[in-house]
Amino acid sequence: MDKKRIRENYENVDYLDENGKVRTKVIYRGAYYAPADPAAIKPFRAVFAAAAFLLAVFYVVPLLFDSPSLRAVYFVLPYVGQVFPVFFLCLSAFGAAFRKPPYREETKRGITDTPRKWCFAGNVLSLVSMGGYVAAQIINGFDYASLLSFVCAAACFSLYIIIRKTAGSLKLVKTE
């Protein structure tokens, strides 16, 4: 997080309380952002939340079954690395679903900019884990339990793309 930019958006103001003591209050002085098209916020929230929920489900499902591919380091390490994109995308979806416009600058970045970066990281990790799955199948032979892991990694890959496009589609403009 860019602390200098956040520091510029807030101001400390001293005031006297009812007892005559000097107190300090932090006041937000930065820009507020609202959707350019207010009707676009509902579909954005619905798609973002549904995709993040499905992403979490598809991430957890392969871990419920005993599969030879889950014993292969070259599949498991990138798959476990996806916990960060999945967690932060679910956190962003929660923020997008429950925060009402107008948004402060850090909220705007958390809803539109940050998810696109995490989706890129998730895409890379899911591609590497799918490559690890193919390598595990070549080495260990084919089995259907491992196919579930591949399907879920591919679903995560496509959901990352959906979330990235959804987060990029919401246009926020500065308001007064």
- My answer on whether 170 and 137 are in the same domain is yes
In this predicted model, what pLDDT tens digit does every residue of 104-144 receive, in sequence order?
A: 888 888 888 888 888 888 888 888 887 877 777 777 777 66
- Please give the distance of CA 12 from its chain centroid, rounded to a whole number: 31
Distance CA 154, CA 129 (A): 9
Residue 2, pLDDT score: 65
Distance CA 153, CA 4 (A): 38
**Structural domain containing residue 3:** 1-29
Q: In percent, how much of the chain has pLDDT > 90? A: 2
**Whether 36 contacts 44, CB under 8 Å:** no
SS3 47: helix
- My answer on whether 41 and 18 are in the same domain is no
Q: In the predicted model, what is the mean pLDDT of residues 75-95? A: 85
Does residue 74 carry a pLDDT above 80? no
- pLDDT averaged over every residue in the chain: 82
- My answer on whether 72 and 156 are in the same domain is yes
pTM over 0.85: no
Give the CATH number of the domain where residue 61 resides.
Answer: 1.20.120
